[in-house]
A and B are shown apart, each in its own frame.
Chain A
Amino acid sequence: MTGLTLDRLSLRHPGAARPALEELSLEMAQGEMLALLGPSGCGKTTALRVVAGLIQPDSGDVRFDGASVLHLPPERREAVLVFQSGQLFAHMDVATNVGFGLRMQRRPRAEIAERVAEALDQVQLRDLGHRQPHELSGGQRQRVALARALVLKPGLLLLDEPLSSLDAHLRGEMRGLIRRLQRETGITTLVVTHDQEEAAVLGDRVALMLGGRIRQVGAGAALWNRPADLDVARFFGGCNFIPGRSAGGRFDCALGQLALPPGAPEGEGCLTLRPEAIEPGEGPNAVTVQVLETRFEGLLTRITAEAGGLRLEALMRAGAARGAAPGRALRWRLPAEALWVLPGV
């Protein structure tokens, strides 16, 4: 179990217009599972490779338990990276693949065999040791890759999009397996993903990375409901932004005075609330809106409405959305606990 510190890492790939990492800092406690979330191209895989030692940063530091590891080559770091594609070695069978790292440590043959069997057991592939990689399904390959890392009992496990190459129905299963194994082994795990849901399910905490830097770290729900800025709010699908002023637990804006939850930032800013938080009917923070458009999106219906010259979007279940027809006036409640103020926007 290793604690990880990334200290103001910067890196620009040769010839690239924008840096892949820009003053990126992150702390991980021992035994923690953290999801590094971000859109494709935000530099998250680069960050993972820097931690693994496969790329050297231009500046900044990587520390394991407080000690810099920048001078260490990948094979001497306590971190093991599991590649997105699994990267099973095509010329070795499953057991040889899993035993590769132990072989590099020159462990005795018997010990390797025993630990490989144990690791394959952990990922529920007990009897597949003699298969060739091309004989495995995508999910099995990913599990072998996981076993190949776990068998080394690394201080830090780095997972690069471990579920992205899997079919939808396999993802849930694999997600559960990763969570369970992480709990059992307690290995500090940094998992990179572009999928919000995956990040929320896998990570004890989620770190959102945009444009080469960490924008917000916290529990999944905090990032959804308490975004630090407009970009974060937009990344998570926020679409209601109401300019105004926050003072004394109330927000002054074109919709009138709205009650805020305790602890909301003060001053000029932008009020945000998620579209699915809006409820129909009377109550505190109720406003009158004029429906502009409704769009059926399967489970939910998206209603676009106008109030005080502002556009609001709400996502409601079919029952709640009943009666919302273009041109009609409705009363919507904006629950105080769902409101959040982005200061200074």
Chain B
Amino acid sequence: MSARWRLVLGLMLVVASMAPLLPLGLWSVARGWYFPQILPATWTLEPWARALSPRSDIPEAFVTTTAIALAAAALSLVLGIPAGRALGLYRFRGKALVELALLAPVIVPGIAVGLGIHGVFLRLGLTNSALGVVLVHLVPTLPYVVFVMSGVFANYDAAAEAQARSLGARPLQVLWHVMLPAIAPGVAVAGLFAFLVSWSQYILTLTIGGGRVVTLPLLLYAQAGAGRNDQAGVLAVLSLAPGLVILALVARRITGRGVMIGGAG
């Protein structure tokens, strides 16, 4: 295929990828955009002003969503880095089973387990609380971190740790001066995408949060359902933002394996 054809097809691919984002952005700066107007008759920043005003519930939802995603990402890292290390460095009996157990939550749809988890959390008093939402978000985020980190550790030379010990470093010093610098880029990617996975959750948030914990995706559907397209447009653009920032940060580091686990959801 000639370079020109590749360019044309590549362009089509990019246009198709971007197309659904166009109306979202347009609605966020439009007033009274009726059929058959192709572009809004009136351009305005009013939807943004309204969305960011003190009476709007969007700023609070933004903070809630961010806080939950940060907490879920941090918890996933704390739990997932040791697990990823074990999977990446060791071979042991039952490893395939462990990998399967950690992969299953990625495949099994949220609603299939969410309803049951609701039962668990009801008994623990965790429903309708942000803490409960953070915990339930671990179901999709933790496997993702584990698999990214096991990939990172598979390419990590643990002999460097033995060398450091032999040079007089204590275990904690080894952890801090040898292991962490080596895995830091992987940790960053895993953490950022865990953040993103949590940020995008809908049905698990709704199931456990019971509508009391209001995140951006929930508001998005509420506003769209109520026909307030301008507010929904603002919410959509806000929801896109972290993903674009993170992509710009890590574009070069996206690996097939990372995509494998985190991309679909």
- A and B in direct contact, judged by CB atoms within 8 A: no
Residues of B within 8 A of A (CB): none
